[in-house]
Chains A and B, each alone.
Chain A
């Protein structure tokens, strides 16, 4: 997408808000799952699926599509919600998340649901798979305009396999690979700086021969510009470190690592008690954090 108009930005932001509401509803119904990552990355996913990707929800196996590899599979409620709102499958199906027989597995299963390119959950293997896709595409068509996007978390960067994959991508100068890091600063046990410090992160990627950008992960324009620049990089793979706020959109959940792996109804109670967590979250989102009146549904 070229420059985003104000109308386009607003439309994307509203779409992201709708997707966040779906995430709260899905997680609440499921009674388990991850909240912080999905809410935090909703703007990135919305921009990708509604503004960037070459894809066709009615023809999910279209050969010319860009590939999206979700490496941090635990944020799949976001992927599922985005795919449903983009038209890959009925939105109502989102409420089957994590239930017996559902196509919406607790972590993504390739082949179960249209639009899922890889199974993931065990951390660290997504970039490798995206590198494999990028290599295969280059063998078939060195002038291909397909991009392989790999979404990964910052806690996930603790995994050694990540760096194995980066080394290979750098050596191969895979300019069709764009890695997007969710730099929300949290992981299950605490803040990333305490569990396993990553900084200087940009320099790490640079030393692995990546083109590196750092952007505000909640600014549609900044993200759009960064992805556009990454697509234009000629002789290197790219990484975009998106600085996001964990649980973005629900202020009473934001930035708290204890929301990493808990759904509404089971999160920390210091600000909102269990029974009210889903309701409060949905109200925050429906009123745009109190800026507008909630509509009775």
Chain B
């Protein structure tokens, strides 16, 4: 059963699709209106990161950095040291990809109030190919102390994440996608940094019980897979974990206890991302059979976003099939 705060009648044929980076643009503009300490930095990708909504409204609080992601991270740190709340946006491949050390030392180690926004994350970047498809960003950011790591699902959640990030004092990384992805949540759906949300609850009359833990825009595929499993006689639930660090361990343990096995789903390497985080935690608390789904230690390639999601085994049928093998 779908959570009651989701969009009604979710189905692959009818679901509305919008890039979740639009939610960043809207949220940033709103955050900028609410708090004049908010500043935005961009590395020559102002339109495609949707920073343009802010830069047009507040040109005096927008810094065009040029194609220089390392500089952007440290300029952001310097601005935060003077009391600003910088949002630094580029493609995830370049920030935090190119500038990881600057983020580690000048943002995280300084505990600097900088928000790092990695757009165009995941293989769903599409035709640009593997050079532009960041599928390692969660792993490299999750390993950094002081850093919060978030993968919003859709446009509404991305807006909420942006507003919450502006209010939170400390470094945050969040990733966004390029392509239009299903709008699953509503403006009323809950979002809180560090909290997981149950998005689909299993039919308790079914004997077999599998739990799907998901982050980012694959939430929709996870929900559809759960519905499919239920129709085929396997009870399935979905726990959405937009915040990968800090992990909502209480919700996760409860979820694990309630199911016979778990599947984790993320548009990221299965090494070091959500699946890694879930396995690390549960292995010491609630040992559980876990199948990690995502990109399996390989690079992406050119293709259409939906094709690539299917190709790398993150489609609805792949998730359902894998889940079924576990219970």
In the bound complex, CA of A200 to CA of B39 (Å): 37
Closest approach, in angstroms, between the C-beta of A234 and any C-beta of chain B?
21
In the bound complex, CA of A134 to CA of B84 (Å): 12
| Total residue contacts A-B, CB cutoff 8 A | 104
In the bound complex, CA of A168 to CA of B78 (Å): 13
| A133–B65 CB distance below 8 A | no
**137-189 of chain B: CB within 8 A of chain A:** none
Tell me, yes or no, whether A289 is within 8 Å of chain B by CB: no
In the bound complex, CA of A168 to CA of B105 (Å): 21
7 inter-chain pairs at a CB distance below 8 angstroms, sorted by A residue, are A118-B110, A122-B102, A125-B70, A125-B102, A139-B61, A164-B68, A165-B75
| B81–A117 CB distance below 8 A | yes
Which of the four size classes fits the interface of chain B? Answer: 20 to 34
Chain A residues in 8 Å Cβ range of B73? 125, 128
Chain B residues in 8 Å Cβ range of A118? 77-78, 81, 106, 110
Identity of the chain A residue whose Cβ is nearest the Cβ of B105 in the assembled complex: A122
**74-94 of chain B: CB within 8 A of chain A:** 74-84, 86
In the bound complex, CA of A157 to CA of B260 (Å): 57
| A110–B65 CB distance below 8 A | no
Identity of the chain A residue whose Cβ is nearest the Cβ of B81 in the assembled complex: A133
In the bound complex, CA of A136 to CA of B102 (Å): 19
Identity of the chain B residue whose Cβ is nearest the Cβ of A167 in the assembled complex: B66
Tell me, yes or no, whether B63 is within 8 Å of chain A by CB: yes
**119-175 of chain A: CB within 8 A of chain B:** 119-122, 124-126, 128-137, 139-140, 160-161, 164-165, 167-168
Chain A residues in 8 Å Cβ range of B285? none
Q: Summarize A's interface: helix, strand, loop or mixed.
A: helix
| A165–B109 CB distance below 8 A | no
In the bound complex, CA of A168 to CA of B101 (Å): 20
Closest approach, in angstroms, between the C-beta of B44 and any C-beta of chain A?
12
Q: Which single member of A109, A124, A132 contacts B78 (CB below 8 Å)?
A: A132
Q: Summarize B's interface: helix, strand, loop or mixed.
A: helix
Closest approach, in angstroms, between the C-beta of B109 and any C-beta of chain A?
5
Tell me, yes or no, whether B60 is within 8 Å of chain A by CB: yes
Binding site for B on A (CB under 8 A): 67, 69, 109-111, 117-122, 124-126, 128-137, 139-140, 160-161, 164-165, 167-168
| A139–B66 CB distance below 8 A | no
Tell me, yes or no, whether B111 is within 8 Å of chain A by CB: yes
Closest approach, in angstroms, between the C-beta of B226 and any C-beta of chain A?
45
In the bound complex, CA of A67 to CA of B79 (Å): 12
| A132–B110 CB distance below 8 A | no
| A128–B75 CB distance below 8 A | yes
Given contact pairs A109-B109, A118-B110, A119-B109, A129 touches B78 in the complex (Cβ within 8 A): yes
In the bound complex, CA of A165 to CA of B111 (Å): 21
Identity of the chain B residue whose Cβ is nearest the Cβ of A146 in the assembled complex: B82
Given contact pairs A118-B81, A168-B65, A168-B68, A132 touches B109 in the complex (Cβ within 8 A): no
| B60–A128 CB distance below 8 A | no
Tell me, yes or no, whether B71 is within 8 Å of chain A by CB: yes
Q: Which single member of A125, A136, A164 contacts B105 (CB below 8 Å)?
A: A125
| B60–A129 CB distance below 8 A | no
List 8 other contacts, CB 8 Å, given A109-B109, A129-B78, A133-B81.
A111-B110, A119-B106, A122-B102, A128-B74, A132-B75, A139-B84, A165-B75, A167-B66
